Amino acid sequence: MRALVAGNWKMNGTPASLGELEALKQALAAPACDVLVCPPATLIAQAAWHVKGAFALGGQDCHAEPKGAFTGDLSAEMLRDAGASFVILGHSERRQYHGESNAHVAAKARAAWRAGLKAIICIGESEAQRNAGEAPHICQGQLNESVPPEATSANSVIAYEPVWAIGTGRTPTSDDIAAMHSHIRACLVSRLGAAGEGMLILYGGSVNPGNAAEILGLPEVGGALVGGASLKAADFLKIIAAVKA
Residues assigned a catalytic role: 91, 161
Chain position whose Cβ is nearest to ligand PEP: 227
CA torsion 80→62→235→232, rounded to 10°? Answer: 80
* Interface with ligand PEP, residue 7, by CB under 6 A: no
Per CB under 6 A, the segment of 20-28, 65-73, 180-188, 204-212 that binds ligand PEP is 204-212
Please select the residue that binds ligand PEP; options are 108, 206, 215, 223, rule is CB under 6 A.
206
The binding track of 219-238 with respect to ligand PEP, each residue x by CB under 6 A or -, is ------xxxxx---------
* Interface with ligand PEP, residue 204, by CB under 6 A: yes
Distance CA 111, CA 75 (A): 8
Contacts of 201 (CB under 8 A, 6+ apart): 157, 158, 159, 160, 181, 184, 185, 188, 220, 221, 222
Distance CA 131, CA 56 (A): 37
Q: Which amino acid is at 185?
A: R
Please select the residue that binds ligand PEP; options are 207, 221, 233, 242, rule is CB under 6 A.
207
Which C-beta is closer to ligand PEP: that of 33 or that of 195? 33
User: CB–CB of 6/38 below 8 Å?
Assistant: yes
For ligand PEP, the binding residues (CB under 6 A) are 8, 10, 161, 166-167, 204-207, 225-229
